[in-house]
């Protein structure tokens, strides 16, 4: 699990500033690093809080979709993974899939391989820790 900050994308923030509208507050959420997810997913509760509208669509295959992929809404967001004492990992405009993540599991986002492909991720099972280098 990692803490991450989700906000409107930089592209949307620029438009909000140009329109002299307020920028929605960023949200600090828990994310699960999931190498089994090809794309990052965010729970609708988070996207609704940021007052975002869908800006895309993609086909998704999960255990819940049965044998055929299903069309899902995508949103543009900004994601920051803070790092104490160092520079944060910043993705200023990234496409994420809106998915119900069952919040009782304790996270609001799945960090997928689209994000991991932009950094170096290692998991040390014996040591019980992971590294995320960027």
Which residues contact another protein (rule: CB under 8 A)? 9-12, 14-16, 18-19, 21, 34, 36-39, 41, 44, 53-65, 69-73, 76, 92-95, 97-102, 110, 112
Beta carbon of residue 54, minimum distance to another protein (angstroms, whole number): 5
Q: Give the strand pairing for 109-111 and 27-33.
A: parallel
Q: Whose Cβ is closer to another protein: residue 64's or residue 124's? A: 64
Q: Whose Cβ is closer to another protein: residue 108's or residue 127's? A: 108
* Residue whose C-alpha is closest to residue 100's, from 80, 66, 77, 72: 72
What is the helix (H) or strand (E) element at residue 5, kind and residue range? strand 2-8
Beta carbon of residue 117, minimum distance to another protein (angstroms, whole number): 13
103 contact partners, CB below 8 Å, separation of at least 6: 43, 45
Beta carbon of residue 95, minimum distance to another protein (angstroms, whole number): 6
């Amino acid at each position: 699990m990692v803490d991450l900050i989700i906000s409107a994308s930089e592209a949307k923030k620029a438009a909000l500033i140009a329109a002299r509208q307020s920028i929605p507050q960023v949200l600090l959420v828990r994310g699960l690093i999931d190498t089994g997810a090809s794309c990052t997913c965010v729970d609708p509760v988070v996207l609704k809080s940021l007052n975002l509208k869908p800006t895309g669509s993609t086909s998704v295959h999960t255990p819940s979709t049965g044998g055929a992929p299903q069309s899902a809404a995508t949103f543009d967001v900004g994601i920051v993974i803070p790092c104490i004492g160092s520079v944060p990992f910043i993705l200023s405009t990234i496409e994420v899939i809106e998915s119900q993540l069952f919040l009782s599991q304790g996270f609001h986002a799945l960090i997928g391989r689209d994000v991991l492909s932009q950094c170096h991720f290692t998991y040390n099972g014996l040591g019980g820790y992971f590294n995320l280098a960027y």
